[in-house]
Chain A
Amino acid sequence: MTLLDIIIAIPALGCILALLIPRNQAQFSRLFTLAVSLVTFVASLGLVTGFDQKATGQQFVTNFVWIQNPEIHYHIGIDGLSLWLIMLATFLTPIAILISWNYIQDRAKEFYAFLLLLEFGLIGVFSAWDLFLFYVFWEVVLIPMYFLIGIWGHDRRIYAAVKFFLYTMVGSVLMLAAIIFLYTQAGTFDYVTVLDMLQSGRIALTHTEETLLFLAFFLAFAIKVPLFPLHTWLPDAHVEAPTAGSVMLASVMLKMGTYGLVRFCLPMFPGAARENAPWIATLAIIGIVYGALVAMVQPNMKKLVAYSSVSHLGFVVLGVFSFNQMGLDGAVYQMLNHGISTGALFVLVGFLYERKHSLAIKDYGGVATMAPWLSIVFMITTFASIGLPTLNNFVGEFLVLQGAAIRSISWAAFAGLGVILSACYMLWMYQRVFFGTVDGVEAPADAHGGHDDHAPAAHGHDAHGHDSHGHSMPDLSPREWACVVPLVVMMVWMGMYSQSFLPVISAENARILDSTRKSPISSNVKITPVTGGSANAR
């Protein structure tokens, strides 16, 4: 049993145990699930320290036969690509639990149990090396998120939850068809074997077959990313989800799609991927610009952040389909960056919502004077999100743009427009929410209330939490500090010292890129060893 097994098992067991906690012990279930998620996180640090940077391929492998016939393996392992995504999941789950501490009162234990189930599924998705197993985890993730949105969401939660489920379902059934088709050709679900057979030409796909298979996988992933024009479920899901749901959805779940593109689409169907890259990149660029433009006119903060996700994820897809080291490194790094900075944005928007029970930008104003620390943290996050140098997104966006420019200067030019626009919408929102004054429509007492039981207490001793109109807003509480500090630290760390993260990603990306350059026919003719062959191949 490897460490990875333990890290998958802890949230799964934690979820079952959490459901057994009596209903009236809500506080205990919070503490319990927080403890479980922290233990998972600490354990997952062992993946980083134990990860052998020199070695190529999977590490922490467990592989045994799960179902005899058809032979399905429980085959998990991690490489440079999945390592940080797993870390992202284990890092954000405790934060997601912590931000829901006061907000979730109804059916609390189920909420936290679903978060652990979600974590279990996410870690599984990023570590599965058997196509069937991957599909299982892929779908397992769907269930908790469906309930998180549908039960604990806002007004239109049911619509959003059902839309989310159905979009994902349509994409994933086609992927299932493709997976089964590959099985009928290869006789195995083991990804390494399937990949090997495809690359060595032992599975000879016709051009049409390859294109259709690529599209089946691609559609499932593109819906998840989401790539324009398949993105319409995302704003609904984000806006309606409770904060923790938005955070997990934006930060980790969307990465399932981009991870799938890099992990499966590129290596398995390099020909089709290259052939279709132009229009996919075009859609990505449209997504970047469109997402940014739509974000600019949003009156709702969460919707604004949601559309900014569409824009940011466009960068990731663009980087992936640039087919060069820079672009791919940037794309993968950008997955992590987006996870941290957009996650943080949703956390902070959630804090504002808990204070004022509104997501409308126009209901805010002058927050900076009432809650200065909150404003500073929000400012740092905003800067990170718009890609200010020294913060994380800069590194990723820069690499992606550079990669895109190598491929085509016009791609980079249009995508660069997205960076400029992101500064516009983010700073404009910041200005409207944190500066200026409130219109003064509401009575001050309305600022608190609902079921946020901590706010009035904080209000009592918060001397500077008043502006000239008598409005008040408490600043960050210790619990909230605990949520945002790790995020801010990561933003700075990933922005200042990307060397901590990038080398393992680059190594894996180089292998993936290398595999996409080999066409099956040529490798049949001249048997060249993999090592060192990538430099001169074009």
Chain B
Amino acid sequence: MLANFTPSASDVLRFLPETILITAGTLMMVLDPFLSASKPKFFGHLSILAFIAALFAAIAANGDPGFAYSNLLVVDGFATYFRILVITIGIFAVFSSYHYLDREKAETSEYHALLLFAVSGQCLMAASNDLIMIFIGLEISSIASYVLAGYLRHDKRNNEAALKYFLLGSFATGFLLYGVALVYGLTGSTKLNEVHTAIAAPGISLVMVSVAAALMIIGLGFKVSGAPFQMWAPDVYQGAPAPVSAFLATAPKAAAFAIFLRIFVTAFQPVASSWEPVLWVMALLSMTIGNFAALTQKNVKRMLGYSSIAHAGYILVAITSRSEIGTTAAMFYLAAYALMNIGAFAVVIHMAGKGETNVQIDDLAGLAKKQPLTAALLTVFILSLIGVPLTGGFFGKFYIFRAALESNLVWLAVLGLLNSAVAAYYYLRLLVVMYMHDPSEATEALEPLTPGLRVALVLPAIGTFILGILPGFVLNFARDAAGIGK
């Protein structure tokens, strides 16, 4: 029996990305006293190196797919897809933070260490095959995120964001945990594949299974900011430091959707017909509330917060369709969404100025005259958020609504598409102020783009076009990986 506790080479390889990230994070905390004052940028460089190493590790681990550590973890295409996604988001988060931390005179070591921890938790979530592992991954990610949200501890808004995020987040985790407990009580297992078998077997109380599923939907609904559990998102995205908002809007959400998909497509698949109507309503509510609330926002970060709720709604449409195409669509959309949101937030970071004084939509006025390139790049992201063809956002939306229509969710698809027309209105306002208004004080005094932000703008823009024009590679990867639960 003892031999079971010695990890095999495969175990180590399959857990390598998380190992690298956690080691690097810990190393940073050790190095902090020695280097923090003299070389503030060092930690950023180090975390980029760690992320890139983890990226290769994730790709390498995909070469040897299978379970690890007594079936607690599973490395498959699905896990790899989301690992690569969250690690990539991590890299962009670092690039967009260099200048911001410098401007705000903030400590760099802890920030980057927290980022690494958060991403490691998200990688773990993506690769979990066990409800307890999912919970651990979620907690690692969440706790690091709570701290990040309040990172500038002298800033009131940061504190508010962190507290809100923490309270509501822990509440949500509680629901999730209740669900896990119920599942364990019903099936005697926390392994997703075993839960699936147990639920599919005759004689189990489907009512109780549905209650467990409902509790988990509540918990995960919070994490993905799906309505009616979306209240925290705009406040947190508005209050948190801009690069953290960019990160929070993308990476934890991607990871939360990963476990959402994994749990509901594998474990709860036998009772799918009972959760479909719930998700149907959630999807429609998220799209509608997100889009209509965003219409009147004046703060760019807050508007992007509401827009992220709407985008969560689109992804929920994909999940509601309960098919492999739906899973593929959700996965693809998350990648497209991550790229366009990182890019949009990067412009916000660029514009914000010290103390984030310029984060109103009107502060973007005349950007196209002062910095045509920045404006053009933001235009790419906005067009992608609207869903204009040749961008990743369009193809993702197209694929989602294709999945919905193939599953006969005609009304959801039509209402979702009409929603995206509503959304066009508030995204257009950004284009209007950038291109059609005279420069504001904020744009007049704007510094040129820093190299870090340039990376965080140009690469996602290229990625957005690639996903829109040649989506084949990512789509095929997602499609091959979408067969989880088989």
Instruction: Give the CA-CA distance A183 to B389 in the complex, in Å.
Output: 17
B158 CB to nearest chain A CB (Å): 35
B432, CB-defined interface residue at 8 Å: yes
> Which of A136, A142, A165, A176 contacts B417, CB < 8 Å?
A176
> What is the minimal beta-carbon distance from B406 to any residue of chain A, in angstroms?
5
- Complex interface bits, B363-375 against A, C-beta within 8 A gives 1, otherwise 0: 0000011000000
Contact between A136 and B436 (Cβ–Cβ < 8 Å)? Answer: no
The yes or no answer to B273 lying at the interface (CB within 8 A) is no
Residues of B within 8 A of A150 (CB): 431-432, 435-436
Besides A161-B432, A184-B405, 12 new A-B residue pairs in contact (Cβ under 8 A), listed by A number:
A67-B475, A69-B475, A70-B399, A107-B369, A135-B389, A140-B390, A166-B428, A169-B424, A174-B414, A174-B417, A180-B405, A181-B405
Selected contact of A166 from candidates B368, B388, B421, B479, CB within 8 Å: B421
Q: How large is the interface on B (under 10, 10 to 19, 20 to 34, 35 or more residues)?
A: 20 to 34
Q: In the complex, A156 Cα to B222 Cα: how many Å? A: 42
Indicate whether A181 sits within 8 Å of B425 (C-beta atoms), given known contacts A151-B436, A158-B436, A173-B420: no
CB distance from A141 to the nearest CB of B (A): 10
B-chain residues with CB within 8 Å of residue A521 when the two chains form the complex: none
**Chain A hits for B421, CB < 8 A:** 166, 169-170, 173
Chain B CB within 8 A of A157 CB: yes
The answer to the question of A398 belonging to the interface, with a C-beta cut-off of 8 Å to chain B, is no
Seen from chain A, the residues whose Cβ lies within 8 Å of a Cβ on chain B are 67-70, 107, 132, 135-136, 139-140, 142-143, 146-147, 150-151, 157-158, 161-162, 165-166, 169-170, 173-174, 176-177, 180-181, 183-184
**A69 in contact with B479 given A143-B388, A162-B428 (CB within 8 Å):** yes
Which residues of B from 402 to 459 have beta carbons under 8 Å from A?
A: 402, 405-406, 410, 413-414, 417-418, 420-421, 424-425, 428, 431-432, 435-436
**B424 close to A177 (CB less than 8 A):** no
In the bound assembly, the distance between CA atoms of A166 and B421 in angstroms comes to: 7
Q: Are A69 and B432 in contact (CB under 8 A)?
A: no
**Which B residues lie at the A interface, using CB under 8 A?**
368-369, 383, 386, 388-390, 394, 398-399, 401-402, 405-406, 410, 413-414, 417-418, 420-421, 424-425, 428, 431-432, 435-436, 470-472, 475-476, 479
CA distance A107 to B367 in the complex (A): 13
Given the interface pairs A67-B471, A158-B432, the reply to whether A181 lies near B410 with Cβ below 8 Å is yes
A180 touching B383, Cβ below 8 Å: no
Q: Are A177 and B417 in contact (CB under 8 A)?
A: yes
- 29 sampled A-B residue pairs with Cβ under 8 A: A67-B472, A68-B472, A107-B369, A135-B389, A136-B390, A139-B389, A140-B389, A140-B390, A142-B388, A143-B383, A143-B388, A146-B428, A147-B435, A150-B431, A150-B432, A158-B432, A158-B436, A162-B428, A162-B432, A165-B424, A173-B420, A173-B421, A174-B414, A174-B418, A176-B398, A177-B401, A177-B417, A181-B410, A184-B406
Q: Which of chain A's residues have a CB closer than 8 A to the CB of B470?
A: 67
CA distance A484 to B425 in the complex (A): 38
- Chain B residues whose CB sits within 8 angstroms of the CB of A176 once the complex forms: 398, 401, 417
- The minimal Cβ–Cβ distance linking B5 to chain A, given in whole angstroms, is 44
Complex Cα–Cα for A69 and B476 (A):
8
CB-based contact A177/B413 at 8 Å: yes
Interchain CB contact under 8 A, B432 and A184: no
Cβ-closest 6 pairs across A and B = A173-B417, A136-B389, A169-B421, A170-B421, A139-B389, A184-B406
Expressed in whole angstroms, the Cα–Cα distance for A403 and B390 within the complex equals: 41
Which chain B residues lie closer than 8 Å to A132 at the CB level? 398
Q: Which A residue's beta carbon lies closest to that of B468?
A: A136
